[in-house]
């Protein structure tokens, strides 16, 4: 079995492994990139459909106002023609030509308005639909980000708790062994030790370990894996 100093180092290693994993999980937390992309896409679609609905509705309103103006003008001309105010044949002819022109304009507007009466409602409905889709997706994003923040806080708490345990776990370990272990950790992604598996391999890198190395570890000596250079740890029953 590994020496007491290696057993203490292993307990420190287990804390460090948790700290590494917590860092990894925290770094991997996604703020909702996929949902944000969907929101952006829906907003662009909504802008396009809302723009079309606004354009068609504006055209409809504008034509209705123009028609109203034509109707008022026709009423005014009619009043002048039949009110005895216009008696000159030339003026009558001019008014009649104006009436004909105004009616042609109104007929053209009527044709377009009929088209708009069919185009505007579905355009407005499509814009409303995409607007609701944007709002729903934003709610989804907010809910997701709340869960991410909650997990982030949980990881911070776990990291702080484990980090607070580290000095106590390290205090009874020889400084030279700690220095060696920390140097290995810095080179190996924060993981400085590895178990010897039941099939006599290094648990971290999978290398087949020499019998001599395993025997030395069982004797309580500090031995590193020839491949990954982590300090090897042995417990009864692993081999």
Has residue 188 been placed in a domain? yes
| Structural domain boundaries, residue 142 | 31-169
Indicate the number of domains in the chain. Answer: 2
The CATH number for 43's domain is: 1.10.287
- To the question of pTM greater than 0.75 for the whole model, the response is no
Cα–Cα distances (Å) from 130 to 58, 100, 125, 126, 238, in that order, read 20, 45, 9, 6, 61
Cα–Cα distances (Å) from 92 to 20, 79, 83, 98, 206, in that order, read 96, 12, 12, 10, 106
What pLDDT shows up at residue 77? 84
d(CA 229, CA 78): 104
d(CA 10, CA 193): 7
Complete DSSP assignment for 32-57: -HHHHHHHHHHHHHHHHHHHHHHHHH
| Residues of the chain with confidence (pLDDT) below 70 | 1-2, 84-87, 236-239
Of the three residues 148, 169, 190, the one that is the final residue of a domain is 169
Has residue 124 been placed in a domain? yes
Q: Do both 160 and 228 map to the same domain?
A: no
Q: Is 152 left (phi over 0), alpha (psi -120 to 50) or beta?
A: alpha
What pLDDT shows up at residue 238? 46
Q: Do both 163 and 180 map to the same domain?
A: no
């Amino acid at each position: 079995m590994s020496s007491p100093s290696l057993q203490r180092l292993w307990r420190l290693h287990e804390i460090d492994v948790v700290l590494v994993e917590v860092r990894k999980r925290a770094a991997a937390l996604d703020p909702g990139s996929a949902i944000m992309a969907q929101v952006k896409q829906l907003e662009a679609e909504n802008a396009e459909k809302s723009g079309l609905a606004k354009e068609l509705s504006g055209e409809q309103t504008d034509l209705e106002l123009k028609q109203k103006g034509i109707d008022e003008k026709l009423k005014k001309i009619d009043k002048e023609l039949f009110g005895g105010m216009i008696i000159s044949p030339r003026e009558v002819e001019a008014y009649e030509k104006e009436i004909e022109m105004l009616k042609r304009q109104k007929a053209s507007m009527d044709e377009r308005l009929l088209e708009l009466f069919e185009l505007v409602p579905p355009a407005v409905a499509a814009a409303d639909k995409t607007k609701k889709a944007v709002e729903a997706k934003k709610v989804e994003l907010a809910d997701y980000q709340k869960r991410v923040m909650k997990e982030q806080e949980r990881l911070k708490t776990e990291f702080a708790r484990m980090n607070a345990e580290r000095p106590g776990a390290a205090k009874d370990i020889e400084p030279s062994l700690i220095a060696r272990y920390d140097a290995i950790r810095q080179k190996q992604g924060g993981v400085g030790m590895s178990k010897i598996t039941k099939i006599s391999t290094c648990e971290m890198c999978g290398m087949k370990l020499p019998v001599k190395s395993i025997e030395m570890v069982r004797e309580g000596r500090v031995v590193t894996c020839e491949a990954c250079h982590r300090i090897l740890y042995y417990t009864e029953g692993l081999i």
